[in-house]
């Protein structure tokens, strides 16, 4: 959780991106339809070829301290290699469980 908190701080207070992307090697291009328009109205649609990309969390540096992307979460190894969606889903699950425990303590559930 400390990585997510510090990544959020770094991203909101600088030009840093916590995610790196790269084209997946040997991937076939895929057609993508893009709309162009003015004032929210789409006027022109064009099909272009795009390449699938891979997203990976990157280390974040704040005041000289480096925060590495998580590899385990609560003692359990992550499935993906710095996969931002996996980390985000684990964070949501963590906070849902955390809030449910608080509700139990106050008999709200």
What pLDDT, on the 0 to 100 scale, is given for residue 109? 54
Q: How far apart are CA 18 and CA 28, in angstroms?
A: 27
Contact of 70 with 88, CB cutoff 8 Å: no
Half-sphere exposure of residue 79, counting CA atoms within 13 Å on the CB side? 4
What pLDDT, on the 0 to 100 scale, is given for residue 65? 87
Residue 61's Cα: distance from chain center in Å? 17
Domain assignments of the chain as residue spans, ordered by start: 25-52
DSSP string, 63-92: TTEEEPPPSEETTEE-SSSS-HHHHHHHHH
pTM of the model: 0.64
pLDDT digits (tens, 9 = 90+) for 76-104: 888 888 888 898 898 899 999 999 999 88
What pLDDT, on the 0 to 100 scale, is given for residue 107? 74
What pLDDT, on the 0 to 100 scale, is given for residue 99? 92
pLDDT digits (tens, 9 = 90+) for 5-37: 888 777 666 666 777 888 888 889 999 888 877
């Amino acid at each position: 959780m400390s990585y997510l908190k510090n990544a959020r701080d770094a991203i909101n207070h600088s030009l840093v991106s916590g995610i790196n992307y790269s084209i997946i090697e040997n991937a076939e291009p895929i057609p993508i339809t893009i709309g162009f328009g003015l004032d929210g109205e789409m006027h022109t649609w064009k099909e272009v070829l795009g390449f699938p990309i891979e997203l990976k969390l990157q280390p974040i540096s704040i005041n000289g301290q480096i925060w590495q992307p998580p590899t385990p979460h609560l003692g359990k190894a992550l499935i993906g290699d710095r996969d931002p969606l996996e980390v985000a889903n684990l964070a949501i699950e963590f906070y849902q469980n955390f809030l449910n425990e608080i509700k139990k303590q106050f008999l709200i559930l």
